[in-house]
Structure 1
């Protein structure tokens, strides 16, 4: 759209480092923001998301839905005009290792002998 103002966003990771700031159109979806975060994820970080489903964006205490836009996410109170908006990034990494370990423990329990030798 002609004449629309770009919104400047930065993304704060759990360890306090930032990705950005960069300017985005108000029509940009949260899913697109997450894709950009994945592309710009610092290589030196221990935990790295694989898909946008592994990433949650939080702004103003609200988890942002993938289909909402930057315009939908802007807070009307407390934001300074022409200021950088900070969105917090939370990872939701799969816990497959723990569930696999539990399944293995359960299978060991099922296959173990319950005999008692006196």
Structure 2
């Protein structure tokens, strides 16, 4: 269950990061509220997952999921350009997250 919580928390990291970008310095109410709620839920989930998953592994996976989804969302919405190089780098990041999960289970 900790891994599910960690993955959801990583998704929420992408939500709060994207909302923060749209809040224009927390001056827009709706994105600011989305940012605050997603931030609290994301951090809470990370803390909960870290009860059973080692800190380094949990944090790296949380950041990796959040970073990959944030960049993908930015490319989908047109906020950032889509390039093959970006796509390959995101695939590498996802591969590293999967590797951490697999090696974390082995120890």
TM over 0.5: no
TM-score of the aligned structures, taking structure 1 as reference length? 0.21
TM-score by length of 2: 0.23
- Choose between structure 1 and 2: higher helix proportion: 2
